[in-house]
Amino acid sequence: MSGVILPRLASPGLRWARRYGLAASGGAIILAWLILAGCAPWTAPFDPNFVDVTDRLRPPSAVHWLGTDALGRDVWSRIIWGGRVSLVVGFSVVLLGAAFGTLLGAVAAYARGWAEEVLMRITDLVFCFPPIILAMAIAAALGIGTLNTMIAMLVVWWPKFARLARSLVISQRALEYVEAAQTVGFGPAHILLRQIMPNALGPLIVLITLDLGNAILVFAGLSFLGLGVTPPSAEWGAMVAEGRELVQQWWVATFPGLAILSVVMGFNFVGDGVRDWLDPHARTR
């Protein structure tokens, strides 16, 4: 091969790291939080609700890694226990919302006609409201509590999945394999659930992953406003609220906020990674 000048390419390991490094680190962050929060009784050094006013507002130390709050509770232990709430709420709201929204959108898209019209108008209607305002109104009306807040979030959460599922089904429905299945004689339910949905799953999974962070963020926001958990339960948003006047004792509000940031970024990393992985255009790059 005379006269051929090949430029040096980066090693395969480096190229993998460049492409999926962020996604892997995001996955590691999520996994770490799942383990920490899932095994809170063992991983938290202190009882999150143990009040010791003699030990209040201590800066981070060897005993209290992230310091103590105004009631002398260990901030690190409360963050670990608070992670449980955030993760459970995040997963439940997004998975339930996604299941409901996807079903609705997919059925609407496949049914066409008036059924589609009605279902999508309802979706538009809910879409008219900024989620946080509607969730706030509903959460306030239902009364404070984790379950009520989750219900409020669910009410506003499903429409985006309905829209995505609808557009995915519409684009798949135009492909010839769907017509082939109809020509063979398969019924609508089989075609929608067994043939189309597996092909629409990729983008849905991307949205679910990215949205998990979003749901945790909104729930923390509602908690911050006092609508999320009932005190004295540990929750990240509520912890920031408790510490927001304590500018000198910065650790009380800063660390729970960092916890939220890390989880949300973790989900974003993973979501972006999944998207790149599913997108053949980006993959061959």
Partner 1 sequence: MPEPAEHPLLAVRDLRTWFLADSGPIRAVDGVSFTLHAGETLGIVGESGSGKSVLAKSIMRLLDEPARIVGGDIMFRGRHLNQLGDAEIRQIRGREIAMVFQDPMTSLNPVLRIARQLVEAMTAHGRFTVAAARKRSIDLLRRMGVAAPDRAVRAYPHHFSGGMRQRVMLAMGFSNEPALLIADEPTTALDVTIQAQILDLLRDLNASLGTAVILISHDLGVIANVCSRVLVMYAGEVVEEGAPEDLLSDPRHPYTWALLHAAPRIDAPLDASERRLATIEGQPPDPRAWPAGCRFRARCPFAEARCAEPPPLSATGPTRAARCWITQDGSSLPPPPRRTAAPAAAAPSAPSAADSPVPMLRLAGVTKHFALARESLFAPPRMLRAVDGVDLDVFKGETVGLVGESGCGKSTLARLIARLHAPTSGTIAFDGQDITTASIAEMRPLRRRMQMIFQDPFASLNPRMTVGDILAGPIALHGLAGDPALRVAELLDLVGLAPAHAARYPHEFSGGQRQRISIARALAVGPELILADEPVSALDVNIQAQIINLMVDLQERLGLTYLFIAHDLAVVRHVCDRIVVLYLGRVMEIARAGDLFARPLHPYTAALIAAAPVPDPRIERSRRRVPMLGEPPSAIAPPSGCRFRTRCPIAAPLCAAEVPLLRPGADGQFVACHFPGAL
Partner 2 sequence: MASRLVTACIMVVLASFVVFLIANTVPGDPVLAQLGDLAAANPAVVAAFRHRWGLDLPLWERYWIFLEGLTRGDFGESIASHRPVMQDIAEYGPATVELASVAFVLSLALGLPLGILAAVRRDSWIDNLARMISLVGVSAPTFWLAFVMLAVFYGALDWAPGPGRLDVAAFPPERLTGLLLLDTAWLGDWATFRDAAAHLVLPAVVLASSTLGLITRTTRAAMLDALSQDYVRVARAKGLLARTIVTGHALPNAMLPVVTLGGLAYANLLAGAVMTETVFSWPGLGRYTFRSAVAIDFPAIMAITVIVAALFVLVNLLVDMSYALLDPRTVKT
Q: Out of 125, 175, 180, 189, which residue is the one contacting partner 2 (CB under 8 A)?
A: 125
Which CB sits closer to partner 2, 57 or 225?
Answer: 225
CB proximity list for 85: less than 8 A, separation 6 or greater: 146, 228, 229, 233, 234, 235, 236
Residue 170, Cβ neighbours under 10 Å: how many?
18
Tell me: does residue 128 bind partner 2 (CB under 8 A): yes
Interacting positions 177-206 with partner 1 (CB under 8 A): 177, 179-188, 195, 198-199
Which CB sits closer to partner 2, 152 or 197?
Answer: 152
Tell me: does residue 18 bind partner 1 (CB under 8 A): no
Tell me: does residue 142 bind partner 2 (CB under 8 A): yes
Residue 278, Cβ neighbours under 10 Å: how many?
14
Interacting positions 99-118 with partner 2 (CB under 8 A): none
Tell me: does residue 124 bind partner 2 (CB under 8 A): yes
| Token pair in block for residue 123 | 């979706």
Q: Residue 35: which of partner 1, partner 2, none does it interact with, CB under 5 to 8 A by kind?
A: none
Binding mask 26-65 toward partner 1 (x if CB under 8 A, else -) reads ----------------------------------------
Interacting positions 253-272 with partner 2 (CB under 8 A): 253-254, 256-257, 260-261, 264-265, 268-269
Tell me: does residue 115 bind partner 1 (CB under 8 A): no
**CA-CA distance, 95 to 263, in Å (whole number)?**
17
Nearest to 135 by CA among 242, 235, 214: 214
Query: For the CA atoms of the chain, what is the radius of gyration?
Result: 23
Which CB sits closer to partner 2, 26 or 48?
Answer: 26
In angstroms, how far is the first alpha carbon of the chain from the final one?
A: 25
Amino acid in the structure at residue 176: E
Distance of closest approach, residue 64 Cβ to partner 1, in angstroms: 49
Residue 212, Cβ neighbours under 10 Å: how many?
25
Residue 24, Cβ neighbours under 10 Å: how many?
15
How many alpha carbons lie under 13 Å from residue 13 in its C-beta half-sphere? 0
Tell me: does residue 13 bind partner 1 (CB under 8 A): no
**CA-CA distance, 258 to 260, in Å (whole number)?**
5
Q: Residue 175: which of partner 1, partner 2, none does it interact with, CB under 5 to 8 A by kind?
A: partner 1
Cα angle: 129, vertex 134, 139; to 5 degrees: 170
β-bridge mates for residue 179, sequence order: none
Tell me: does residue 132 bind partner 2 (CB under 8 A): yes
**CA-CA distance, 9 to 12, in Å (whole number)?**
9
Tell me: does residue 217 bind partner 2 (CB under 8 A): yes
What is the binding site for partner 2 (CB under 8 A)? 124-130, 132-134, 136-143, 155, 213, 217, 220-221, 224-227, 237, 240-241, 243-244, 247-248, 250, 253-254, 256-257, 260-261, 264-265, 268-269, 281
What is the binding site for partner 1 (CB under 8 A)? 1, 3-7, 9, 12, 15, 175-177, 179-188, 195, 198-199, 284-285
